[in-house]
Amino acid sequence: MTDRLHLGVIGAGRIGRVHAANLALGIPRATPLVVADVDASAARTCAREVGIPEAVHEVRAVIENATVDAVVICSPTDTHLAIIEAAAEAGKHVFCEKPIASTLEEIDRALVATSRAGVKLQVGFNRRFDASYRRIREAVERGQIGEPHLLHLVSRDPAPPPLDYVARSGGIFFDMTVHDFDMARFLVGAEVEEVFTMAAVRVDPAIGEAGDVDTAVVVLRFENGVIGTIDNSRRAVYGYDQRAEVFGSGGSAASGNQYPNTVVLSTAEAVGRDLPLNFFMERYAESYRAEMAAFVDAVLDDAPVPVGGHDGRMSVVIGMAARRSYDEGRPVRLDEVAEIVPPVW
Amino acid sequence: MTDRLHLGVIGAGRIGRVHAANLALGIPRATPLVVADVDASAARTCAREVGIPEAVHEVRAVIENATVDAVVICSPTDTHLAIIEAAAEAGKHVFCEKPIASTLEEIDRALVATSRAGVKLQVGFNRRFDASYRRIREAVERGQIGEPHLLHLVSRDPAPPPLDYVARSGGIFFDMTVHDFDMARFLVGAEVEEVFTMAAVRVDPAIGEAGDVDTAVVVLRFENGVIGTIDNSRRAVYGYDQRAEVFGSGGSAASGNQYPNTVVLSTAEAVGRDLPLNFFMERYAESYRAEMAAFVDAVLDDAPVPVGGHDGRMSVVIGMAARRSYDEGRPVRLDEVAEIVPPVW
Amino acid sequence: MTDRLHLGVIGAGRIGRVHAANLALGIPRATPLVVADVDASAARTCAREVGIPEAVHEVRAVIENATVDAVVICSPTDTHLAIIEAAAEAGKHVFCEKPIASTLEEIDRALVATSRAGVKLQVGFNRRFDASYRRIREAVERGQIGEPHLLHLVSRDPAPPPLDYVARSGGIFFDMTVHDFDMARFLVGAEVEEVFTMAAVRVDPAIGEAGDVDTAVVVLRFENGVIGTIDNSRRAVYGYDQRAEVFGSGGSAASGNQYPNTVVLSTAEAVGRDLPLNFFMERYAESYRAEMAAFVDAVLDDAPVPVGGHDGRMSVVIGMAARRSYDEGRPVRLDEVAEIVPPVW
Amino acid sequence: MTDRLHLGVIGAGRIGRVHAANLALGIPRATPLVVADVDASAARTCAREVGIPEAVHEVRAVIENATVDAVVICSPTDTHLAIIEAAAEAGKHVFCEKPIASTLEEIDRALVATSRAGVKLQVGFNRRFDASYRRIREAVERGQIGEPHLLHLVSRDPAPPPLDYVARSGGIFFDMTVHDFDMARFLVGAEVEEVFTMAAVRVDPAIGEAGDVDTAVVVLRFENGVIGTIDNSRRAVYGYDQRAEVFGSGGSAASGNQYPNTVVLSTAEAVGRDLPLNFFMERYAESYRAEMAAFVDAVLDDAPVPVGGHDGRMSVVIGMAARRSYDEGRPVRLDEVAEIVPPVW
């Protein structure tokens, strides 16, 4: 393998274009060779925008391209498993947007496929690469706050997604809180054992009619004794509210929101500032670049990926337990909903 | 009744002296006439310090003093009921430190006694009078954050109380979280229906050996659909951590900690400031004065007390449910642990 | 001398009542015996409010009272000198509100009188006792920011005083910036040598017609090489803006404004908070108590007063230089406007 | 002219590479065709890094390239004038790093050359494009703070530049405060008429030996009556300190520093956070991209450049007055040091 990684991007939608741009322009060790989309014109637009030499409309053309070392999967979730299996068989490393697949069974098949083929599988939990979350993790790792005791995550979206998205995604615990489940595991550095959910429909009755909730608190018990809370809403009118705190025997590390500027305006009415950033792609822009750079590094240096298949699986398992807790009105242990396997992947 | 309220203070310990000083020096409409303590020398010291004319060592001398309009009960909890009943019978209004009594049965007797006698009973939940909590409540009442959806309370003490105190108090849910239960009801403006507790012993194993926990998360479901979380620790090394947030359809109102000064120090190592206030009497000094002024006003103006017997009872009922939830590992409805009666008191 | 200081308060106006209340209620080592005011009813009201035994309408009754150890002068500035001289002759220590007198000649007579009589003279620069300013001074003294290089003071009033007050006071440099001149000397811990003023009438043309300015920047050169700026306005619509920063070789210490509560309100429009405190008596309430306690301690313990006659004199000298700089459009050395004498007082 | 601007970058040093990267990767309407550097290998490295097709070592090759519409001048200051004149003669638009030239006479020749040729000249005052400064300017323009009365700029570098740089640059007022002079004019939206400087050598005696100062306060009087202060130091040990406030009849708009993350760490020692960003290229990264995008837009849309030759000239004139004020110890009017001409350029 050379000192540059050659990649194919599969899916030229919103997130695919972000990854394509970062690979083409922001990561020196990466060279994207081809972008694929069933909509050939979307692929061509993406390729032209960022200077990728080839655009195709069949995934096969990427998988069969012998100069491609790794694929970045940004296509719809229901296509993930087949692409992962094909890529693994072709010996290509895989970066896959979350979730790996819609069911645990499919996720496990993806993990087996990549494991057997000896290719790397990184899952797209980009928030782990955000500077503020990383700083909290660093405080925990360096012992700056002692032994962690409590975790609190606030994760509120500026507005609910379209109703049909909610229907497809499996609901709030799988399309939104799933990020928080992963963040909780990342910040605490331990596995979750049990969850309890209290949730409601407060933002939009149509979400309830679709069988989902839009306002939720999930309490997590970790194997190391930490107790965590996740505070979710589908709609924070003031913007994208993304905060975290880990509290421990030696203190606390807490992050705040990000703003478009630092200006404080003081008038006869109030002392205030502009609203926080309210679009996840703006709030987390740098983290998308950093996660992809980390993937490229892991492959080129043959190092472990920072967010692997096990992480992708666990966040879904926690989501399943959170949903069951809500349905049954009781705390649910993770081993009630899935076999808990060690993180061999 | 004249335009000044004449009071007797019962108990000249730490909190008794605070109330005596506020009544003597900080509340124009109040005139404390007598202070009582079984330790006569403590009573005399308190009287001399703030200029109260009489010091006695028998509660009876206060109750039988015909010029005393109201009593302020700051003696140990196990003496509350008898004093309340005697005071009520003597037609004196009552301000009683929390908790009203140790058992629900005794609390109910106290409520019946004051109700039958037609005297007022205010309970010492001083935090309701803190400017920051009041401002959050005001935001909710004025609709500044729309319909409330979520509540989050952080309440962490700088250090655990002596072990024998924990044994007497009934534990964290009755001596510490009880303030948060009251605050939750105050901020949300609705009753709690169900609670779920996840807790642990992380600060000091001796607390666990005494049958209590020192680290706890309590989730509350309110009758109006709000979901709340309370985040407790017996020891925050950086000081007294007391914060609240109510989140709603129209935004969020959140309070921060209070500091001894506003200075930010920037050096080659960090940008920082001194630790928050870490003694509750300093943090909440003004709230003690304000609650007592409110009691005096309520009596003189014959208006409802701002924190009544029902409030004192409900916080204990929630504590009982929180403890049972911890013991049984399941959500517990309040009507499982007590008869829920309307707030006639 | 006993362990308690007996005081007479002269002047029962706004500031006199503050000092009377602090002496009567907030300072254990002080006992105010008498309050005097030419308006006898004002004196009586004040005495009754805080429990001072005697109210008189003649200053002489205070000076001749043999049990009075010290006087607190809160009468109009043009009465200060005569009272100070009489008090000094009677062997009474003096706390005098700023300014000591209207002219440098009178100030010097007051300093001579108290010095010869061997009584203490403290001047009412209360801001030195504010917790935030003290913390900056402490940072400088402890070397937390290294050698000081730069000072910046923001001092903006919520609204201009009545026009007749401006006429009487001598103008902004003598009734407002005088506090900042003292603060500058206090924070830096060195004397000012030269000043340059740039000023304008921006708030109210009537202030200009009265011969004064309402918006001013004064630059200070200190003998130890520090350069300071003072930023004044007679009207900050958002409240009382009182901030300071000292910057040095090892960092910076900067204070912010004080607010009535800590609540941050986030809505669809802005993230904001209530306006800062806007009344100086509220903002600086604790500092008034602390300065008086310090005076009482200095007398009882025969220690130097924390703010003496020299300090009162120097702030006026700097004000004279600042005004001349404005009039003549050039930097002015202090020794151009007054003889600079060492701080023997 | 097409819908894309073809540019040549002259100078492949630190700032040249930043502009080259932004033009190549971050500005859709721009296409850099060639990069030139006397060090041919530096030019080649830069070209390869960002994908610019051609690298040359002679400026002439850029000027004579008929497909180049505009040049971006990042070469040493003493080469600016010749390149500007050649580019203007060749009909190419010019973006020039500040300062335009070392002397006012040369600056005026550059302005005449571009003006006569009818080509645009933009000067590299990138800070105008920073989101926080822009927000303050917007507050002023929209009347959110009423009529501006006072301006305060804090501009402190993390460390002094190499001594030989100070010698070449003309000193602090020309290499550092020059940015603040431009920012002052930008934020206030008016011209400066008079300046007064108080300065000292506090950071490094060698700077003084080189004839410069390292700690300075400059007071500015604007033609619209605003009074401004600039607070400079060559070394803030805590990082790059870049703040601004404009205060007016309707309030205040103030910006703060930028931090690498939002995390607040609370321990038993302090409540603090990591140091602010301390490298100007990181702090102002986005502003470099935005200024270049604005230049490209101005040329393609034939609109006025946002920072023109007049701006580049005025900041140098103010620097000359500031230096003379320091040398002569008196306020200096701008028309004492240069002919003040209207902003025809």
pLDDT in tens, B11-32: 999 999 999 999 998 898 999 9
At residue C178, does pLDDT exceed 70? yes
Q: Which of B251, B253, B263 is opposite residue C253, by nearest beta carbon? A: B263
At residue A341, does pLDDT exceed 60? yes
Please choose, from the candidates A97, A37, A96, the residue with its C-alpha nearest in 3D space to the C-alpha of residue A61: A37
C326: confidence class by pLDDT, cuts 50, 70, 90: very high
pLDDT at B340: 87
Give the minimum alpha-carbon distance from A238 to chain C in angstroms, rounded to a whole number. Answer: 5
CA distance B102 to B84: 14
Q: Which residues pair with D271 in a beta bridge?
A: B273, D266
pLDDT at A51: 87
pLDDT at C1: 46
How many Cβ pairs within 8 Å bridge chains B and D?
A: 46
Please choose, from the candidates B98, B53, B71, the residue with its C-alpha nearest in 3D space to the C-alpha of residue B11: B71
Q: Which residue of C has its CA nearest to A276?
A: C271
**Average pLDDT over chain A, rounded to an integer:** 95
Q: Do C255 and B274 touch (CB under 8 A)?
A: no
At residue C280, does pLDDT exceed 80? yes
pLDDT at D1: 46
At residue A2, does pLDDT exceed 70? no
At residue A345, does pLDDT exceed 80? no
Q: Which residue of C has its CA nearest to B253?
A: C265
The chains found to touch D (3+ Cβ pairs under 8 angstroms) are A, B, C
The predicted model gives C306-312 an average pLDDT of: 97
Q: Do A196 and B200 touch (CB under 8 A)?
A: no
Residue B334 Cα distances to B111, B195, B342, angstroms: 19, 8, 13
Q: Which residue has the higher pLDDT, C25 or A103?
A: A103
In terms of average pLDDT, the best of A18-27, A131-140, B160-169, B272-281 is A131-140
pLDDT in tens, A56-100: 999 999 999 999 999 999 999 999 999 999 999 999 999 999 999
Are C218 and C177 spatial neighbours (Cβ–Cβ below 8 Å)? yes
How many Cβ pairs within 8 Å bridge chains A and B?
A: 103
The chains found to touch B (3+ Cβ pairs under 8 angstroms) are A, C, D
Give the residues of chain D that fall short of pLDDT 70: 1-2, 344-345
CA distance B152 to A229: 10
Question: In angstroms, how far is the first alpha carbon of chain A from the final one?
Answer: 23
Is the link from the previous residue into A99 a cis peptide, with omega within 30 of 0? yes
Q: Along the 345 residues of chain B, how does pLDDT read in single tens digits? A: 458 999 999 999 999 999 999 999 889 899 999 999 999 999 999 999 888 999 999 999 999 999 999 999 999 999 999 999 999 999 999 999 999 998 999 999 999 999 999 999 999 999 999 999 999 999 999 999 999 999 999 999 999 999 988 888 899 999 999 999 999 999 999 999 999 999 999 999 999 999 999 999 999 999 999 999 999 999 999 999 999 999 999 999 999 999 999 999 999 999 999 999 988 888 899 999 999 999 999 999 999 999 999 999 999 999 999 999 999 999 999 999 999 887 754
Burial of A33 (0-12, 13-18, 19+ CB in 10 A): middle
pLDDT in tens, A210-258: 999 999 999 999 999 999 999 999 999 999 999 999 999 999 999 999 9
pLDDT in tens, A284-325: 999 999 999 999 999 999 999 999 999 999 999 999 999 999
Residues of B in contact with C262 (CB under 8 A): 132, 255-258
The predicted model gives A169-197 an average pLDDT of: 97
At residue C279, does pLDDT exceed 90? no
pLDDT in tens, B275-314: 999 888 888 999 999 999 999 999 999 999 999 999 999 9
How many Cβ pairs within 8 Å bridge chains B and C?
A: 88
Q: Do B196 and A200 touch (CB under 8 A)?
A: no
Please choose, from the candidates A340, A1, A295, the residue with its C-alpha nearest in 3D space to the C-alpha of residue A120: A295
- C63 membership: H or E segment, kind and range: helix C59-63
Q: Which residue of B has its CA nearest to A239?
A: B251
State the Cα torsion C262-C266-C271-C275 to the nearest 10°: -40
Residues of B in contact with C267 (CB under 8 A): 144-145, 250-251
C26: confidence class by pLDDT, cuts 50, 70, 90: confident
pLDDT in tens, A255-271: 999 999 999 999 999 99
pLDDT at B2: 59
pLDDT in tens, C228-239: 999 999 999 999
pLDDT at A344: 57
Give the minimum alpha-carbon distance from C297 to chain D in angstroms, rounded to a whole number. Answer: 31
Residue A82 Cα distances to A66, A295, B55, B114, D69, angstroms: 19, 21, 86, 74, 50
A166: confidence class by pLDDT, cuts 50, 70, 90: confident
Please report the residues numbered 248 through 307 in chain A whose beta carbons come closer than 8 angstroms to any beta carbon of chain D. 250-258, 260-268, 274
The predicted model gives C101-128 an average pLDDT of: 96
Q: What percent of chain A stands above pLDDT 70?
A: 99
Residue B171 Cα distances to B161, B184, B200, B320, D73, angstroms: 10, 19, 13, 11, 72
CA distance A291 to A284: 11
Residues in CB range of B25: below 8 A, 6 or more apart: B50, B51, C25, C26
Q: Do D267 and A251 touch (CB under 8 A)?
A: yes
State ipTM: 0.94
Give the minimum alpha-carbon distance from C191 to chain A in angstroms, rounded to a whole number. Answer: 34
The two tokens of residue A266 are 């003081």
pLDDT at D2: 59
Rounded (5°) CA angle A95-A96-A97: 130
Q: A102 and chain D: CB distance < 8 Å anywhere?
A: no
Neighbours of A339 (CB within 10 A): 9
Give the minimum alpha-carbon distance from D155 to chain A in angstroms, rounded to a whole number. Answer: 16
Residues in CB range of D299: below 8 A, 6 or more apart: D5, D69, D70, D93, D120
At residue A49, does pLDDT exceed 90? no
Is the link from the previous residue into D99 a cis peptide, with omega within 30 of 0? yes
Alpha helices, H only, chain D: 14-21, 40-50, 59-63, 77-89, 104-117, 131-141, 163-169, 172-175, 177-188, 205-209, 280-283, 285-300, 309-328, 334-337
Q: Which residue of B has its CA nearest to C26?
A: B25
Please choose, from the candidates A7, A225, D266, the residue with its C-alpha nearest in 3D space to the C-alpha of residue B213: A225
